[in-house]
Amino acid sequence: MLKSVMEVLLPKLTSFKFPSPSYCCSITTTWNSSSSSSYVKFGFRGLSSLSVNASSSSSSKVVLNEAAVDSAVGSSPSLGHSTRPHFPILHQEVNGSKLVYLDNAATSQKPTAVLKALQNYYEGYNSNVHRGIHFLSAKATDEYESARRKVAAFINASDPSEIVFTKNATEAINLVAYSWGLSNLKAGDEIIVTVAEHHSAIVPWQLVAQKVGAVLKFVNLNQDEVPDIDNLKKLLSRKTKLIVAHHVSNVLASVLPIRDITHWAHDVGAKVLVDACQSVPHMIVDVQNLNVDFLVASSHKMCGPTGIGFLYGKIDILSSMPPFLGGGEMISDVYLDHSTYAESPSRFEAGTPAIGEAIGLGAAIDYLSGIGMQTIHDYEVELGRYLYERLLSVPNIRIYGPAPSEEVQRAALCSFNVENVHPTDLATILDQQHGVAIRSGHHCAQPLHRYLGVNASARASLYFYNTKEDVDNFILALDDTVSFFNSFN
């Protein structure tokens, strides 16, 4: 059906050309293969220097050149303008138009520093970790474990042993479900989950509940389209053993008070698992301050490679959990009739890990830390509000989630629908006619969309390398697309 609609509509579309950019950022990159280092010069007003290390031995230094940028782009270049030169993929045309990438909640783009860290690993010291005594293996091990320490520091874990590398956040949640869940939950125990969770935070607990006879309790939305925290508090009881909640919703853009939720949960003896995939890349996340028991995130949403994520768990809890998978690396001793297991995190990292990906994640953390997570968050709050306000100008639009205010800060994303236009039709024309990349569908949140009374939505999501020009070009393209569809009504 969608194909036939597109076949009818596409020949009638008017062409849309992006205006010439009003800025010109110069970037100078020098790669020294002998020293495995890269130097990038760019500008960002208000910062004097930015150092980004691809690894402990291979560094990529970003040196801010404020004078050059001031002369090129004016007196106040934004963070987006200053960092865009580090992302080669953004500088291309798609379907004859300049790419406007607004699908960051699905995955982020990768800076040169991360690409160089991956290249340096595979060209310079590719080897398996932990079990080799030769130079390449020792170096690979050092870099892999350095990445773990970087993750721990980034979220303020008390010790690197509280960081378990997984292939993504989904696997991290499944690890907790099958290791901690099957060992600690029994018939009649209750797990509290919000209706706004990603499928990865719902399905594993459905499977565990079916196995042990536990009960899932769901928190609905309040009138502001935010999970109802008062409702959550009322659901808490001594039967509650676990709360599973997002930090930032990938659909509603709402932010939950995780520290409060953790305090209430611990008062009744329950644990808390936080899906932080949409918060760790965008704001300061301090696991000790939040006092969460488990937290998961994915590398690919925070400028790192795909294929790796991580689980944070309090060390006393991880130490009490049985292995999730069996095999090499996770053992202490193997006998024919039984085996003994390594301590955390090795206990949960069976087999050869994603070594290059972990090193790439470490480089991404260096890059983000060099900018500063508070700087990123402040910029995105402003840019996200700009996106929300510009979207309100589109006729017959419905934006989901809370309205921004002095008390309410939305994440830098908007899920929306336009009356009488399917979100997939919108996304298709935006891509094919305007080079704008957004996402359409249920965003792995079918229960939430059913609660909202729709099957799908369109979603534009920002990151720090986006600019107001990106938003403006998106709105122009969206207006053009909506007008085109309305011409058939």
Which sign does the torsion angle of CA 367, 372, 378, 381 carry? positive
Question: Where does residue 225 fall: left (phi above 0), alpha (psi -120 to 50 degrees), or beta otherwise?
Answer: left
Contacts of 471 (CB under 8 A, 6+ apart): 383, 386, 387, 390, 462
Distances (CA, A) of 111 to 86, 169, 196, 462: 5, 21, 31, 16
3-class state of residue 60 by DSSP? strand
In the chain the first and final C-alpha atoms are separated, in Å, by 18
Q: Could you check whether the bond before residue 345 is cis, i.e. omega within 30 degrees of 0? A: yes
Q: Both tokens of residue 122?
A: 């595979």
Which of 306, 305, 297 minimizes the C-alpha distance to 360?
A: 305
Is 444 considered catalytic here? yes
CB 388 within 8 A of CB 405: no
CB 422 within 8 A of CB 454: no
- CA dihedral angle for residue 444, residue 446, residue 452, residue 457, rounded to 10 degrees: 50
Q: In whole angstroms, give the CA distance from residue 451 to residue 222.
A: 11
- Interior/surface letters 276-311, b for 16+ CB within 10 angstroms, e for the rest: bbbbbbbbebebeebbbbbbbbbbbbbbbbbbbbbb
Report the DSSP pairing between strands 190-194 and 215-219: parallel
Q: In whole angstroms, give the CA distance from residue 29 to residue 76.
A: 23
CB 44 within 8 A of CB 50: yes
- Bridge partners of 165, per DSSP, are 310
How large is the C-alpha radius of gyration of the chain? 24
Q: In whole angstroms, give the CA distance from residue 369 to residue 363.
A: 10
- Active-site position among 277, 303, 414, 444: 444
Residue 63 CB neighbour total at 10 angstroms: 15
3-class state of residue 470 by DSSP? helix
CB-count burial class (<10 Å; 0-12, 13-18, 19+) for 237 = exposed
Q: Which residues does the annotation mark as catalytic?
A: 444
